[in-house]
Copies of this chain bind each other. A is one copy, B any other.
């Protein structure tokens, strides 16, 4: 009966894609109650945590392309949550900071993000979460290394 000739790796890839989409959707639902999308929330949180931070560093920390970060930050600046400052050292660089409004919202959104994470990942025990984090890091790092 089991015609599972489908390789385990392919199955995991399928499942990964599925689960990633489901989780993204649920995160967006949770954060949507606060009137913010997940990407915006993550960007503001990261800027608040590491300010002042360069655009490129922000992009790589959050794991998005530099161009994407540029566009998203643009919207945050338009909304008055983030400010761009020229760097004194390097006039090409842009240093990002949150505004007062941005800081307040960042605080609120970070809490909401953490609650959502806690809730959505509840099916796994703390021990399993640690294992999962290890798996994810190994998968994400492979190929990024010194090769």
Contact = CB atoms under 8 A, between A and B. Distances in A.
A15 interface: yes
A129 B13 CA distance: 10
Main secondary structure of the interface of A (DSSP, over half): helix
Interface residues of A, number: 52
A11 B110 CA distance: 12
Interface in A114-147: 114, 116-118, 120-124, 126, 128-133, 135-144
A72 interface: no
A117 B17 CA distance: 12
Contacts of A85: none
Copies per assembly: 2
Interface in A1-53: 6-24, 26-27, 42
B132 A12 contact: yes
B140 A13 contact: no
A143 B7 CA distance: 28
A93 B60 CA distance: 45
Nearest to A27: B13
Nearest to A17: B63
Given A7-B118, A17-B63, A132-B132, A140 B22 contact: yes
Interface of A: 6-24, 26-27, 42, 62-64, 113-114, 116-118, 120-124, 126, 128-133, 135-144
